[in-house]
Amino acid sequence: MSEYRPDEGSFDIGEARIAIVVARWNGEITEGLLTGARRALARHGFDEHNLEVFRVPGAFELPLATQKVLDTSRFDAVLALGCVIRGDTPHFDYVCAETTRGLGEVSLKEGKVVAFGLLTTDTLEQAQLRSADNEENKGEEAALTALEMLTLFRNL
């Protein structure tokens, strides 16, 4: 395990419901993130019946979809999964910044857990590494973040 990654603890989330909003753009990568998230949730005994997956076109749509999912009052947390790979134009910077800002804004407005699973990489190779079946999978990290934050909220 990476020296920078915290040890996994035990989580107490009760019957929490979790949504995963996943971007279809860079689908090979985002499907790897989704697989990692599901793997982490299963490892901690999360009931798959309390999970719903919603798909959006790209990363830029993650904040609005996350907001709409939370507006239903059916979910205690949302994992937002997407991938933006740097290109030759400033498009990367705008999409990354606005998606990040939007997800943070939704979380604070709703007072709910929004786990950040947006890859922002310079190369396809970096994105593949961070979405593979390994300990660097950022979808898995987003799921663990959601479980930890839900446990914290439950214990407050």
Give tens-digit pLDDT for 14-54.
Answer: 899 999 999 999 999 999 999 999 999 999 999 999 999 99
Has residue 104 been placed in a domain?
A: yes
**103-124: per-residue pLDDT in tens?**
999 999 999 999 999 999 999 9
Has residue 13 been placed in a domain?
A: no
Catalytic pick among 91, 101, 109, 154: 91
pLDDT, position 7 = 64
Has residue 61 been placed in a domain?
A: yes
Has residue 106 been placed in a domain?
A: yes
Range of the domain at 97: 18-151
Give the mean model confidence (pLDDT) for residues 87-95: 88
Q: What CATH number is associated with residue 141?
A: 3.40.50.960
Kindly list the distances between the CA atom of residue 35 and the CA atoms of 42, 73, 81, 107, in Å, as whole numbers in the listed order: 10, 25, 11, 23
91 is catalytic: yes
Distance CA 125, CA 13 (A): 35
Assign 87 a pLDDT band (cuts: 50, 70, 90): confident
Domain tally, the chain: 1
Q: What is the pTM of this model?
A: 0.93
Distance CA 92, CA 121 (A): 9
